Amino acid sequence: MKIAVAQFQPKDGDKSYNLSIIRELAESAKVKGADLISFHEMSITAYTFTQHLNLEQITDLAEEVPNGKSTQELIAISKELNIPILAGLVEKSEGKIYNTYLCVTGEGLVAKYRKIHPFINKHMSPGNEYCVFDLLGWKCGILICYDNNVIENVRATSLLGAELIFAPHVTGCTPSAMPHRDYVADEYWQNREKDPVSLRMEFDGPKGRRWLMRWLPARAYDNGVYYAFTNPIGYDGEHLKNGNSIILDPYGEVLSEIKSFDNAITISKITKEKIQLSGGWRYKNARRPELYKDIIGQNHISDTTPVWMKEESK
């Protein structure tokens, strides 16, 4: 199967614009031979700006799934282009608000996953179940952004049968306790055409790609799965994001990566044969859960507030 991952700069709350870019990039993926395409977290609505929305505002932004206008438009695009599409939005259901990621085909909704560890807006509720589904003969899973940083979520999704995990993000270039992680100054972005090297060094350094490479390949390697990582490029809200959308194999090796500062896609072929040859596949078969099931299952209070949000609330 040939999979495509995308990156683009969204517009805050402008669903029509964002869907038009999704359509444009999906068409490009289809023309280039991809069998599916995956977009970043809340790619239909944009993400970071929702931090400042009150309950009424975020409810107005949210839509029902699958009957909402955006989901139906996504299905229509998928049908027109004959390619499955994965993208995210804000969902409302039974009085609750969710950060939701969808997989659709021209036939309709295939899968829906609600972020288990949401934090961008206090009115969002967490999802409470994993998502593994069949797509084009593959078992696929979804974990949104922070969900991938909690390693138990990845292992659980893998144990449920996922061979390919879609990891839509809006991440990178934000403060952290890790040395040299911080925002990227706007001057680098504004000067990207005249001085692309300086911006690339910022994006590929510890603020962006180097941070990703500390953990993202490990998720694929330890679990023996393919990983489709997506991330916006440019501004999402007031935060500059580094893109670097990546496809990784079960060895944790980068198959392809977007290095452009523009809206773009990259495509890689994935094969099932590689999965059972990977170390992660063997390690899962070697597990002895009787030793640690009670340790891992202990009660625990979850805190997902990132450093940059704590600093802004001071």
Tell me the mean pLDDT in the region 163-189: 95
User: Does the pLDDT value for residue 143 go beyond 70?
Assistant: yes
pLDDT tens digits for 51-102? 999 999 999 999 999 999 999 999 999 999 999 999 999 999 999 999 999 9
Mean residue pLDDT of the chain comes to 96
Confidence class for position 312, pLDDT limits 50, 70, 90: low
Which DSSP symbol is given to 273? H
Domain residue limits, the chain: 2-312
Higher-scoring residue by pLDDT: 237, 304: 237
Which DSSP symbol is given to 276? H
Task: Find, among 155, 141, 168, the residue nearest to 232 by Cα.
Answer: 168
Task: Find, among 39, 49, 48, the residue nearest to 19 by Cα.
Answer: 39
Confidence class for position 280, pLDDT limits 50, 70, 90: very high
Burial 41-61 (b: 16+ CB within 10 A, else e): bbbbbbbbbbbebeeeebeeb
pLDDT tens digits for 24-50? 999 999 999 999 999 999 999 999 999
- Quick count: other Cβ atoms within 10 Å of Cβ 122? 12
Q: Quote helix, strand, coil % in the chain, to nearest 5.
A: 35, 25, 40
pLDDT tens digits for 192-201? 999 999 999 9
Report the pLDDT value the prediction gives residue 34, as an integer from 0 to 100: 98
| CATH 3.40.50.880 is right for the domain spanning 2-312 | no
Tell me the mean pLDDT in the region 118-128: 96
User: Do the beta carbons of residue 270 and residue 3 sit within 8 Å?
Assistant: yes
